[in-house]
Each structure stands twice: as C-alpha cells, then as structure tokens.
A and B are shown apart, each in its own frame.
Chain A
Amino acid sequence: MTPAPASPPRTDRHAAVPPWRNVRLLRIAGQIVVVLIVAIIALVLWTNLATSMARSGLTFGFGFLNTTAGFEIAEGPIPYRATDAYGRAFAVGLLNTLVVSVAGILLATILGVIVGVARLSGNWLVNRVAAGYVELMRNTPLLVQLVLLYAVFLQLPSVANSISLGGSVFLNQRGLFLPRPLAEPGFGLWLTLLVAAFVVALAARVTASRLEGVGRPTYRLGTIGIVALVAIPAVGWVALGAPVRLDLPVQQRFNFVGGVVLSPEFTALLLGLVVYTAAFIGEVVRGGIQSVRRGQLEAAYAVGLRPMQTLRLVVFPQALRVIVPPLTSQYLNLAKNSSLAIAIGFPDLFSVTRTMANQTGQSVSVIVLVMGTYLALSLVTSLFMNLYNRRVQVLER
C-alpha cells in the first residue's frame, strides 16, 4: 500500500515578503524618492535664483502695485490717468485682454460655424473657398497675419481724408469712429423694460421646450416669446420718446473728438484673432457634424421631421458632444493668442506688464503676476466649458 501522499508544503501566506519585492513599500518609497528629487531640484533653482537676484539688485514683492505708474495707456474700458497706481494699469490691461477675448470668442464661434457649414456644403465653389480659407489660416503664423492686417489698416486714409458714412461714422487710419449713445432720462426705465422682456421671452421658451419635450401642444409659446422680446422694448422705446442722445464724432485739428472709437490696433487684433480661430473652429464644427451617423438623419426623415427640425433636435445635440472639448481648447488658444497684441501696440495684459517690468525693475514679480493671471483665466474658461461639456455628454448606462 502506498503511503499517504505527504501533504503539500504549506505556503505561509503571511511569510514576510522581502522589502525589495513588497509592492506597497516600493510604491511609497518610489513616490518619496521622486518628490525628494523634485524638491532638491526646486531648492537648487530657488537658491540660485535668490543669490542671483540679491547680486543683481532685483527684489521680489508686489508693493510696487500701489506706487504711481507714470505712463499712459492708449486705450481701455475704464478711465486711467498716468497718476494712477500700477495696480490700476494692470487692471486696464487685464480688462483689455478680457474684452478682446470675449468678443473674439463670440465672433469666432459665429464665423466658425458658418465656415464649418460651408465646408459641408454641396455647392462646390463654396466648399472649396471655405477649404482654401481654412488651409490658408492654418498654415500661416498668427503673428504674421496680425502685423499684415495692422499694416493694411495703417494704409487707410489719413484723418483729413476720412471716409465718411452718413456724416456720423468715419473711417480713417486712426480708427473707426462711431456715434456713442448717451443716456437721457428714461433710459433706465427702458433698460428695465428690456430686461423684463428678456425674462419673459426666456420663460416662454423654457416652458415651450418643456411642453414639447412631453409632447403637449405648446400653443406657439416659443414664437410668442420671441415676439415679446422684440415688441416690448420697441413699444417702450416709442412710448418713452427714444431716451438716448447721440454723441457724434467731430473732426478737430488732429483727431476726431466724441463718439466711440475702435482703434486700428484693437480692430486688427480682434479681426486677426477671429479670422484665424474661426478656421480652426470651422474644422471642429465640421468634424462634429460629420460624426453624426448618416442613419440618424435618415431615421429622422423617415419619422417625418423636417430638415430644420432634424438639425435642431437630432444633429446638433449629438454633434455638440464631439465639438465641445476641442472647442474649449480653441477658446483657450484665442485667449492666449491675444497676448500677441504687443506686436501691434495694443495695450493688453502682456504689453502693459512688460512696461511695468521695465519701469519698476521688478521683472521677476511681474512675470509671476502675469503668468498667474493667464493661468487663472485659462482655468476659469476651461471650468465653464467643462461644465457645459458635462451637460451635453451622453450619460453612459
């Protein structure tokens, strides 16, 4: 009789694993080592920086923001005098950047959608022209486009030979001069009326879409909302007797005084950014629309939806999911590209901070300040876009 087989050797599961094979230990040790190395490098760089700065007489600190700036800024949304502090100059630059970025994003989106749709058009000419435009914009540097545009704007006629449109709008090499509306008494009331109309229209639209969503009749609520949006302010305008006065630009000895002016610097920057970014947005939109499967369209038509309805209810929501992430990065690019304004003399954030760095001598503090501001701007924009993205994304089951 064979002896009973010896029981298999017991592998003690809790036998000590040598430290150099213990995964948990290695992971912690590895992270500690990496963090230590990065910390050491940072420390070395920091010491070098500190000694170099001490040796060259550079200081670090943000106290200069309260001292008088002493330099002029060509344009800005808030009033600024040379006697104001550096902090205010910084604010002017920041506001300039924000104005250009927001206006640029809005206009570029509109133009980009047009370009994207044109790229998908069945009309061969329109299709090819849009394609040519996109290729041209994508393959030339933005800076070259900006300086070219600015040089073209400077070729406009001089102030003495301004092109005049209707005697109240003037175009010359110093800018586009438009009449500025000034509020008369009653304007505040009209503004509240406008806001009320907007709220009513919004409420009507939301209600209409809710009703539509559950298949109940909407009683043309959506159209009523739009009509209210237009009719209420119009009626109020007439009733209040048009409570604005136009401040017309008047030609003085050197320049036009009065009205509002779009300087060639601002216009060149805005136009350059919009035209450049719209090409990229067009491609993104085209990719988004093309990503919607053909079967969806056919099914929509089969169910009896008209082309406009198909576009609104079937194509766009699906296309948006694909469009929004790359659209975010294009928006961020536009905001960051606005820093090229320094090449054409527009006082945006980067341009103003470079002057500050030079006049105060605090180059290091200023660099930290400007990079931090751009970072905050980018983070806020991506935050908003990510929130919107989450809304349009498909909820996976």
Chain B
Amino acid sequence: MTTRAPFRVGLAVVALILAACDTSPSPSRSAAPGQPTATPAASPAASRAPIGGRLATVQSRRQLICGVNGGLPGFSFLEEGTANWSGFDVDFCRAVAAAVLGDPAAVEFRALSADDRGPALQTGEVDVLIRNTTWTVTRDTSWGLFAPTTFYDGQGMMVTRETGADSLEDLAGATICVQSGTTTELNLTDKMRELGVTFSPQVFGDIDATYDAYTAGRCDAVTSDRSQLVARRTAFTTPADHVLLDVVMSKEPLGPVTPLGDDPWFNVVKWVVFATFEAEEQGITKTNVGQMRDTSTNPVVRRLLGAEGELAANLGLEADWVVDVIGAVGNYGEIYDRNLGPTTPFNLERGPNRQWTDGGLLYAPPYR
C-alpha cells in the first residue's frame, strides 16, 4: 500500500525546500513607479549616500551590468574568441561604470537580442541598456526611462548594387529582410504603406540571421538604422557590392535606457551622458582633464570637474566623478571619433551628432 508514503515523503521534501528558501522581506524600499524619492540634499558627500535602489546595488556589487548588442561593429562588438568589447555603446557603459564605481573596467556586458532587450530591462536583469535602442513613447512607458540621445540616427535601406534600385519606389515587389522586435519593422510597414509600395517582408529574430539571409540572396534589401547598415556592411565579403539608398525613413534617436521607477539611478546615467557633451563643449579631453581640474579658472569647468561645489553629492557620486569619466573614455567627440570616426572603417559623418554650438543637437543643461 503506497497510501501515506507519497504524501509523507513529499511533505518532508517540501518542508525542506521551504526551510532552505530564503524568503527575504517584501521589497518595501523600492519606490513606486512615478514617485520621486527624496533627494538627500543635506547628506554628506560620501558616495554611499543612502539613496537606495539600483545605485546602491551597483556600488555594493562593485560591477555594472550593461545590456549591449554584441554583434554591431562600431557600437558594441565582441571580438570573437576574446573578452575584448569595443564600441560606441560599450564606451558609454564604461563611462557609467567609471562614474559610479571609479573603474571603467568593472562592467559585465550582456549581449541581448532585439527581442530580449525589453524584458531584460523590465525584469531588472541589466542595470542599464545601452544597445542602440530607439526612443519611442511605448518604450518610454513600458521598458524604461530614456537617457539623453547619444546618437541621432535614421532608418535606411541597403540593397545590392545589381538591383539598380535608387529609391524606395523601385523596390516594389521586392523581398526585404528585417529584424523582429525593432522599430525598423514597424517603420518599414508604415513607410511602404504611405508610399503605396508592396513588398514581401522576411522577419528574423537574430541579427546575424537577418544579414545572412540578405547576403545569401534570400532578400533583395535589408532595412535597419543607417549606422547599423554601414557597420554590418564592413563585415561583408564584398562591401562594395552593397549600397545604401539615399533615403531616411524615420527618426531613430538612440540612447541609454534605465529601468522604470528608479529616478536617482536615471539621474546618474543621464548626467554621465550630459557630462560627455559638456566636456566636449568646454574642450576637456582625456589627456587634459587632470590638468584642467587643477589649473582651469573657468567656473563652469571647475564645477563640472568637482574642483568646487557639492553637486556630485546630490547624484550620490564622488566629487570628481566627471574626471573619472573623461579620463576613462574621453569626451563625446573622442568617443565618437574612436569608434565611428574617420580613422575607423565606418567613417560616419557626425551629422546631427554635433554640439549645438556647431549646429548639431547635442545640448547639455547647465551643471549647477
């Protein structure tokens, strides 16, 4: 008779499991979404200011977990077989790590596909998502808070030279490869509907599979952010056979994203980005940042670099956090040139990604 044995044994095991389970108290210290937490204006300048939330978590963990693409040369790319991450987004991850932890190398990079990045951020699996993510109202309200745009991009279309297509209308009846889970998928539909052009979409969940199918000839064209098309083209066997159409199908403002409901952490990431803008505007570079901090008489520069003022404490950071950031990755211009500039295979024109003083869209609010 196996009457009582099963439930007794089950009982014992379940009891063991419950006993071993560490049910920590419910997270009462996390702020409800949308509610600003009190800014400890009078707190001491220690970086461990009790702001709570993700900032303290990252600091106690001593490592920043950054969600990135991993397969986009120029933005976030992992050299195969090594642990060398490089790219525009990667540098911004390092900037945040330098600001919060003082060490630009204290980053754990998580490669996320386009489909996974939203849920990864929502569930808090990554601290910040710097993965060429377009700022939209849907994402702003469901994925996370968007820090200032680091790269103003637009959606483009790449075709093989032999199709002879010059414009979107030339692509009537064509098969177009697109990646799922992106704004490009939605924009493609909208734009083609607007133009009245019929096409056959071919949707892939994997960025590699998308470009693979395109180069194999499965599709006549592939659409994505222009910067991504340029970047991926450099990895083709015959880049010269592929040409970007001279169309910009949509606005694609790319920037970092932090999880919802954590304003202090959002402020930190936001101001790291602004610091790089401001540094370029003020002419602070990676090489002269130390010297500027010590010798500059410009009050804007002095405040920014922490030589005077107690502003860093409001963010929960060390006073010279900007020095750490610029010393690690340089100002915005240096980051751009290093990853996407004339010395790289991409040679992307800065376009709107210039300082407002040069006619671009980069504009940092005053640091005071």
Contacts and interface: CB of A to CB of B under 8 A. Distances in A.
Interface of A: 23, 26-27, 30-31, 33-34, 37, 40-41, 44, 47, 51-52, 54-58, 70-74, 82-83, 154-155, 158, 173-174, 252-255, 257, 264, 342, 345, 347, 351, 354-355, 357-361, 363
Contacts of A74: 200-203
B118 interface: yes
Most chain A Cβ neighbours within 10 Å, of B118, B171, B218 = B218
Nearest to A354: B115
A154 B217 contact: yes
Contacts of B188: 72
Contacts of B7: 30-31, 33-34
22 contacts: A30-B11, A34-B14, A56-B122, A56-B261, A57-B122, A57-B143, A57-B144, A57-B260, A71-B189, A72-B185, A72-B203, A73-B201, A154-B217, A174-B175, A254-B171, A254-B220, A255-B173, A345-B205, A345-B209, A351-B203, A354-B205, A361-B118
Contact of A345 (B18, B174, B202): B202
B189 A361 contact: no
A9 to B, nearest CB: 29
B11 to A, nearest CB: 6
B207 to A, nearest CB: 13
A173 B218 contact: yes
A345 B185 CA distance: 14
Given A57-B141, A253-B174, A254-B163, 8 more contacts: A30-B8, A52-B123, A71-B203, A72-B185, A173-B217, A355-B115, A357-B115, A361-B142
B297 interface: no
B213 interface: yes
Nearest to A261: B200
Interface of B: 3-4, 7-8, 10-11, 14-15, 18, 23, 26-27, 30, 32-33, 114-115, 118-119, 122-124, 138-139, 141-144, 163, 171-175, 180-181, 185-186, 188-190, 193, 200-205, 209, 213, 216-218, 220, 259-261
Nearest to A252: B173
A34 B204 contact: no
Contacts of A27: 3-4
Given A57-B260, A71-B189, A154-B216, A355 B23 contact: no
B218 A257 contact: no
B8 A37 contact: no
Contacts of B201: 72-74
A57 B193 contact: no
Contacts of B14: 34, 37, 41
Contacts of A158: 217
Nearest to B26: A51
A33 B11 contact: yes
Cβ-closest 10 pairs across A and B:
A361-B142, A358-B181, A72-B201, A82-B189, A254-B174, A57-B260, A56-B122, A154-B216, A30-B7, A70-B186
B217 A58 contact: no
Q: Tell which of B7, B23, B203, B261 has the most Cβ of chain A within 10 Å.
A: B203
Contacts of A363: 118-119, 122
A45 B14 CA distance: 15
A342 B189 CA distance: 21
Nearest to B138: A361
Contact of A55 (B114, B174, B261): B261
Contacts of A154: 213, 216-218
Nearest to B193: A82
A40 B21 CA distance: 13
Nearest to A153: B218
A345 B193 CA distance: 23
